Structures are given as C-alpha cells and as structure tokens.
C-alpha cells in the first residue's frame, strides 16, 4: 500500500514550538537556579558583615543609653573629689588641734594630777608640745606623790625631778614636761 504523507504544517509547527518551549523553559530554570545559587553564595558571604552591622547597631543603642548616665557619673566623680578634700581638711584640722593644745584644758588636766596644797606659780605651754611648770609643794611626800601621779597619768614622756630636798619644808620645783 501506498502511504500518503501529508504535510501538516500546523502540527509540525506545534511540535517544533513545544521542543523550543521546552528548551526555553529549561534555560529559564537553569538561569533561575544559577541566580538563586549566586544569591545564596552572596548571602552566605555577606552574613558576617550583616552580623557585624547588627552588633554595631546594638553597640550604638547601648552607648546612647549610657550617655544619659554620664551626668550621674560626673556628679559621683565630683562627690568623690569633694569627699577626699573634706578628708584632707579634717586631717589638717586634727593635726592642728593635736599640735596646739588649749592651755585651759591642759591646766585643768595638770591640776588633777597635783597633790593637795600645791600652788602653781608659773605655767607655760610651748609650741613643741612641752609644758613648763613652776610650783610650790608642801614637803617631800607631796613631791613623791606628784612624781607618781605624773608618771602614771600617761600624758607625758619620761621626766626626771632632779633636785628634791628631804627637809620637811615647802619646796619650789620647776618642771619641763613633754606631751606624748
């Protein structure tokens, strides 16, 4: 039998169009895959910079919140400075008080240590924390009592009563005592 071949141009065109369309779709898919892969690689390489950007942003926000506390820090620093100045001034005043004793208070302390019947003739408080006393005592027992009281008081450094008469009569003694 004889076969007859019909040229169906529409069918041929459709077949050819389907093949070209398939190749175009395949090219589009491969292009989309390549673009997606490139974006993924770019994103992977960009992640450290994105993370660094996020950290910088957080750091700026934190520093902005800390700035409001800088005024408080300044006030606290000024307070500490004033406290140290006060401590220095108090130390200076304490040193000045220690070096200059009130003569009335010193005289009252010394009078408590003197035996009965003792009269003070002269009293001098020196700048070097020494005390010069001129006094009249009734007799040798009062001199011994004075010596014991001054030694046990703890107010003065060691001292020595150089000349004492053992005759039972009033005695005049000049002492120089150094405060501790």
- The reported pLDDT for the residue numbered 20 is 76
Same-domain status, 40 and 80: yes
Q: Which domain does 79 fall in, by range?
A: 1-99
Same-domain status, 29 and 94: yes
Round to whole Å and give the CA distance between 145 and 150: 9
Same-domain status, 50 and 114: no
How do residues 121-132 score in pLDDT, each as one tens digit?
888 877 777 788
How do residues 162-180 score in pLDDT, each as one tens digit?
666 677 788 888 888 887 7
Same-domain status, 87 and 125: no
Q: Which of 78, 99, 120 is the last residue of a domain?
A: 99
Round to whole Å and give the CA distance between 58 and 81: 34
**Structural domain count, the chain:** 2
The CATH number given to whatever domain includes residue 110 is: 3.30.1360
- The reported pLDDT for the residue numbered 5 is 62
Round to whole Å and give the CA distance between 52 and 57: 8
Same-domain status, 17 and 81: yes
Q: Which sign, positive or negative, has the C-alpha torsion 144, 153, 100, 95?
A: positive
Residue 8, SS3? coil
Same-domain status, 140 and 87: no
Percent of the chain with pLDDT over 90: 11
Same-domain status, 91 and 2: yes
Joined together, the tokens standing for residue 92 give 């200076």
How do residues 31-41 score in pLDDT, each as one tens digit?
888 889 999 98
Q: Which residue has the tokens 């369309």?
A: 21
How do residues 54-113 score in pLDDT, each as one tens digit?
999 999 998 888 877 778 888 899 999 999 999 988 887 777 666 666 777 778 888 888
Give the other-Cβ count within 10 Å of 147's Cβ.
16
- The reported pLDDT for the residue numbered 86 is 92
Q: What is the mean pLDDT of the chain?
A: 80
Give the other-Cβ count within 10 Å of 142's Cβ.
20
Q: Which of 99, 115, 149 is the last residue of a domain?
A: 99
């Amino acid at each position: 039998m004889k076969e007859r071949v019909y040229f169906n141009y529409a069918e041929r065109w459709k077949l050819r169009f389907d093949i070209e369309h398939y190749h175009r779709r395949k090219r589009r898919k491969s292009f989309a895959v390549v673009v997606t892969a490139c974006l993924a690689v770019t994103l992977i390489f960009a992640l450290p910079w994105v993370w660094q950007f996020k950290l910088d942003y957080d750091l700026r926000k934190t520093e902005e919140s800390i700035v409001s506390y800088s005024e408080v820090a300044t006030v606290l620093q000024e307070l500490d400075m004033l406290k140290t100045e006060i401590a220095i001034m108090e130390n200076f005043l304490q040193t000045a008080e220690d070096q200059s004793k009130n003569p009335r208070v010193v005289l009252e302390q010394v009078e408590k240590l003197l035996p009965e019947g003792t009269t003070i003739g002269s009293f001098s408080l020196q700048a070097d924390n020494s005390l010069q006393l001129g006094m009249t005592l009734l007799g040798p027992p009062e001199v011994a009592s004075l010596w014991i009281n001054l030694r046990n008081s703890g107010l003065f450094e060691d001292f020595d009563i150089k000349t004492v008469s053992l005759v039972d009569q009033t005695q005049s003694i000049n002492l120089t005592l150094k405060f501790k």
